[in-house]
Each structure stands twice: as structure tokens, then as C-alpha cells.
Structure 1
């Protein structure tokens, strides 16, 4: 992992004349950005098209020179880089009626988990980067986030309410093993007795049980673990660097055993790929200790639609037409609908059937739907110097 600036310099498209003779070239030294779109181990996106705000669009093209060079050679892989996000605030507000919270924290921009369906991918275009491979390989972190959070909580006008950590990108993606930024943020919230909830698909969350559990026992913390599929192959293709299904179930078990309320998020449900698992998913998360379960159907806004269709063509070409047809049947014939109230649930018979199946499975196991009823009454406002005072 190496550090890069927030706005990496533009890279001019390569061509065959940029290189020495084939006999002198080491294939592993090629910059992956000049190679045509291809599947890479450990990556979700196939291509790396320019963002929608860019003036020019670049397309890698193989005129036969590169393919000849790559014969019987290992294809170079795109490496992960980490830059600095110089944001001046850390709490993001929302007014969406589709979620049970109005504020959130995302310690990282981009996510190495590489989930092909991630609805946060289009945000990388704001940085002049691609929602494709750039999103999962060019990451940015907020080293000042704990200090910024403390300052925001210290504001005289600030009124406490549950903060959700990880609404866009996973707070426990692999880079957090080293940076431990999420743990530092939890420490600030715990010091202030501020309620919080965490959304993740990583077993790394169990590292911070010692901080989460004491808050959970006061009804000031909870965790939501995303479990998309019990099929290891499908999970690995959809979410290449996220924890395997059995490790997520084990994380639910450990969190629950520590007295932490756990919600299982079965998301996204993709008709034709994982909708046949609904009943087994609910049973598995219940057996692991989750007390509530919720679902979201696949969302394909902006660039994600093309990325997902490309992923289907690469990994499930025989199912592509059926899956796309079923998705459109849940979206009034379109590939996506952005309206509040339906964007996460869909409409029509297929979406209704998915919802009814979840309701039936939930009732069978005595589980509830997702809620965020956490206690804000114990909040201790920090002073500007970092000390605490009563609200």
C-alpha cells in the first residue's frame, strides 16, 4: 500500500510506440491502466472508464502487440494506493425517508472490497476518477477524522442522534487493519457516550468489540452485518475482497455473544442470482445470533448499470439476459428508478414476492425488521480542548 495525492496526475493513454521491443519487455512491468478491460483476481470491476464529468473519454485498445506480449505471462494487476482526503468535516447529513437515520460517517472514500454493485461507485467521478477499477484501487482516508468529529460534537448547536458509520463505503475494509481509523472514531463516540451504529461486511469488526459492547449494553451501539449470499463462489465474484460468508456469520455470532444487537442486511437481492437463497439466508443469520433482518434489492444508478452488465457478461453470460430482464421488471421497465420509497425495494410482482418471502422468513424465526432506536440521553459534550462536560 502506498500513499498518493488526492488528485493523481492524469495518465496519457499508452500505445505500442511507448515500449521497447517485445523481447526486451517484462510483461509484469506494464502499467495495468494501458491494458484493455479484463478480469483481475481480487477485483470486482472489469473496466475503468472515465468518470461522467471528464471532458475526454479514453479507451484502451489492443492492436495485437500487447496480447502477443502477454502470451504465457502473468497479467499485471492493478495495485491499491491510498491518498489523503482533506475534508473539513466528518459528519454527513441526509434527509432520505428510506433510512432510519439523518447523519453518518464514512472514514474512507472508495472501497477495496470491490463489490460490483456498490451504489457509492459513482461518487468517485467527483474526484475525476473512474467508478470502475479506480473506485476499488484508488482509496482516500481521513486521518484528521477523529479530531474533526470531536470538534463537531463540541459545537453548541449540535444535538445528539444516532450516527451510522459506513453508509457508503465499508469502515472495516482491509486498509483499516493498519490505519485503525474506524476504531479511533468509535473511541471518540464512546468517550462522549454518543449513540452509533456500524454497517459492514467485514469480520474485522470483531476487533473493536471491546469498545462497542459497553456502549451496546447501554443501548447506545449496534451493528449491521451485510450477508449477500451463502454461496462462496458467488460472494467472491460479487465482493472479491470482503469477508467470506462463513466469516461474516462467525462475526455475527461473536458480536451477539458479547451482548451487541446485530441486524443482518441481506443486500442486495439480485433476482436470478441470489434470490433463491432468501429463506436460507434468514435462517443462517438467525442461527448466528442476529435479532433483526432487512433486505434491499439491487440498485444500478449511473455508471453502475454498465459495470454490472459487464460483470454479468464476464462471470455469468448464460444468465445475463434473464437477470437484466428481472431487474427491469422490478423497475417499471427501466434499469433503475431513483424515487424515494421504491429505489431500495422496487415495484411490481417480483419485488412484492421478494418482500413477502422476507416477511414470512422473518416471522418464522421470530425476528424483527431493522430499526435504530438507540439512547441519546447520556451524551457528554466535549469541550474545545478535548475534555468532557455534561450536556
Structure 2
């Protein structure tokens, strides 16, 4: 059976994860009417029984060595999401399962308190919501990110956030308090300014116009904010790079970055399926440009090139980005402050040399 567009969902199918021994696919045997299948796929929530909440990495491609992800899976449904293949570790599909079967860590704030109060813990900036968005729609109900921010604020722990959701405005009080002490950076992810393309690429994410408003709101509140133009997709949104940077700079962004589309593991077939359905006339051209920028492959995971790619097209993107950054005079974000960390606020320990 051909893939069907599901209302409010990015993926078109539920491709079997790479660790499964058996594969499955929908087949029209002539006895059923495919149009009877539901156009909507409901969201399901499951508890993630985590024992730790801080994940450490040694990647030279990211400016942090630790992160916190309160959720697995993401209801935003971005079809290009590099985190989709991680759902295969749960025995689920990186396709529709990734955006409809969500896992949350109800004890994440308590785990964070315990890890920050450990005697051997040394503070350094922690990234909140990197694998999947910490402000995805389910956060309105569960408020896990809010509770984690309260712990980080209480302990004066430096934190960075990347999101594409206006829901972050709900926590403006905490973010503004942290900003006064140099404890917070926020990065808005903006893929395109085209609302129709957004609706198809990122079906449950905040609209581009609203994201720009959120960026301006955060900047006006004194919160250092930047923009991540990601992913840049050949022939779909790459022409918007300079325009996005210009509008974000005007809204108050201090810094910016970009990432070329990454298609690891199952994501290659999921994205190709999306292209052939939504952009059939551009599909081959898009994929050829990707292959040209990844050494003939859909993805090259080599450190140092996986975010930007290689070759003429990738070099041209880099030149355009650097010229735009220079022209728009982005000043850069101030450094995060790790010197104010106080684990005693959660451990109950007293500091004999602190008169507070």
C-alpha cells in the first residue's frame, strides 16, 4: 500500500526499526478499503523508568559535554529529526511511533537533584532537551521541563536550551532570573519562514512567525537568545538562510548556527518517502545534493563534518553563512557562568563560609 498522509503527523509510515528480526509492511490484498484506515493517529504516553537523568558525551561537534532529555520521542513530528532512529532502541519504529508513542521521566527532577548533590559532581553547562524538544506539546500537561529548570535555577547551574516551541515563554520568570546571573542561553530552531512548508515538515511545531515573536520576547526579557537554522535542506529551504538570519537578528538574536540535513539509519528512507509524496518533482534533486555533500552517502557521521557536510555545495553554504553573519554583525552570546553553582541548596549541607 502506498503511504498515506496522517493529519498532524510528519512520518508517512511505521518503518520497522533496524534491530528487529522481522519487518512488516502494509499490503493491500484487495479485500479491504485503504480509505477506511484512520487519518489521525493518537498520541500515547509511557513512563520511562530512568535511573539517571544526565547524559555525558565527548563529541567535538557540540559545545557541551552533558545533557538532559526529559522525553523520548517528540510529538512535533518533524520528519527530518535526527533523533528518530533512537526509537529503534525501544523496539519501536522511528516513523509514526517516534511521534505518537512518547516516553517521559516522571522522576527526572528528583534524579537531577541527586546527581547534582553528589560529592564528585563538577558543574559545567548542561543542555536541556537536545535529543528531543523539552517543550514539545506534552510538556503543557506534564511540566517536567519546568520542574527541571526549577532545580537548575535553585542550584545556580548553567544551562542551555534549544527549542522550536513558544511554550518556553511559560517559564519566562525562571529564565529571566537565571539570565541575571549568566546561567542561561536559549536557542530557537527555525527551519523555514514558509508556513506551508512548516506545516508539512514540522506538523505540530510552532509556526515560524510565532517563533520569531518568542525570540523577540526572550530577548526583551534580557535572556541571551540565538537562532539555529536547521536543518538546511537543498532545494527546499536553503535559499532562506540569509532571510532567516536577518529576521532573527532584527528580533534580538545574539548568535546563530546552521546544520545541513542529516539522514542517519532509518531516517534516509523515511525522508525519501516524505519527499516523494510531498515534493515529487524535487525529490531526486534534493537527494543528489545530499549525496554530493556526504561523500556519496546519505549520511557521514565523521566528527567535524557531520553537521556541515563536504564538497562544493557544503562549502557554498558555509561561505553564505559566514558572509551573512559578518554583514548582520551578530555579537555572539555571553559565556555561561559555572562559578555560582551551589549543590548545598538541594543537599541540605551548610556552608560555614557563606553568610547568606
**Structure 1 residues 221 and 175, CA gap change in structure 2 (3 angstroms):** same
- What are the equivalent positions in structure 2 for 1:197-346 lying under 5 Å apart? 197-346=160-309
- Secondary structure in 1 aligned to 2:33? helix
- What is the match of residue 342 of structure 2? 380
Structure with more contact order per residue of length (Cα contacts < 8 Å, sep ≥ 6): 2
Alignment partner, residue 148 of structure 1: 111
Task: After superposition, give the CA deviation of every residue in 1:109-168 in whole Å (9 maximum; x if it has no partner).
Answer: 000001111111111011000000000000000000000000000000000000110110
Counterpart pick for 1:172 among 129, 135, 139:
135
Partner of 2:68: 105
Per-residue CA deviation, residues 340-377 of structure 1 (Å, 9 max, x unaligned), is 000001001111111111111111111156x6720010
| CA distance in 1 between partners of 2:327 and 2:32 (Å) | 56
Asked if residue 47 in structure 1 is aligned to residue 13 in structure 2, the reply is yes
Please state if 1:362 is matched with 2:328: no
CA RMSD of aligned residues (A): 1.6
Match of 1:62 among 10, 20, 28: 28
Q: Secondary structure at the match of 2:178?
A: helix
Residues 278, 74 of structure 1: CA spacing in aligned structure 2 closer, same or farther, 3 A cutoff?
A: same
Structure 2 CA distance for partners of 1:293 and 1:367, relative to 1, 3 Å = same
Q: Is the 8 A contact 2:8 2:40 kept in 1?
A: no
* Residue 336 of structure 2 corresponds to residue 349 of structure 1: no
**Is the Cα contact below 8 Å between 2:69 and 2:130 reproduced in 1?**
yes
Structure 2 distance, partners of 1:66, 1:95, is 51
User: What CA distance in whole angstroms lies between the structure 2 residues aligned with 1:379 and 1:120?
Assistant: 31
**For the residues of structure 2 that align with 1:55 and 1:389, how far apart are their CA atoms?**
55
Aligned mates of 1:310, 1:290 — CA distance in 2: 35
Give deviations 1:75-130, integer Å, cap 9, x for gaps: 34211000000010000000000001000001100000011111111110110000
Q: Pick closer, same or farther for the CA change 1:339–1:115 going to 2, 3 Å.
A: same
Larger of the two Rg values belongs to structure: 1
The equivalences for 1:71-150 within 5 A come to 75-150=38-113
What residue in structure 2 maps to residue 24 of structure 1?
none
Structure 1 residues 379 and 109: CA distance shift in structure 2, 3 A: same
Say whether the 8 Å CA contact 2:7–2:39 is kept in structure 1: no
Secondary structure, aligned partner of 2:136: coil
Asked if the contact 1:380/1:389 (under 8 Å) is kept, the reply is: no
TM-score, normalization by structure 2: 0.96
- Give the 3 Å change call, closer, same or farther, for CA 267–389 of structure 1 in structure 2: farther
How big is each residue's C-alpha offset from its partner over 1:160-195, in whole Å with a ceiling of 9 and x where there is no partner?
Answer: 000110110000000000111100000000000011
Kept in 1: contact 2:5–2:39 (CA 8 A): no
Match of 1:183 in 2: 146
The 3 A distance-change label for structure 1 pair 74 and 54 is closer
Q: Please give the secondary structure, in 2, of the residue aligned with 1:66.
A: coil
Deviations 1:248-277 (A, max 9, x none): 000000000000000100000011110110
Question: Is the 2:186–2:223 contact (alpha carbons within 8 Å) kept by the matching residues of 1?
Answer: yes
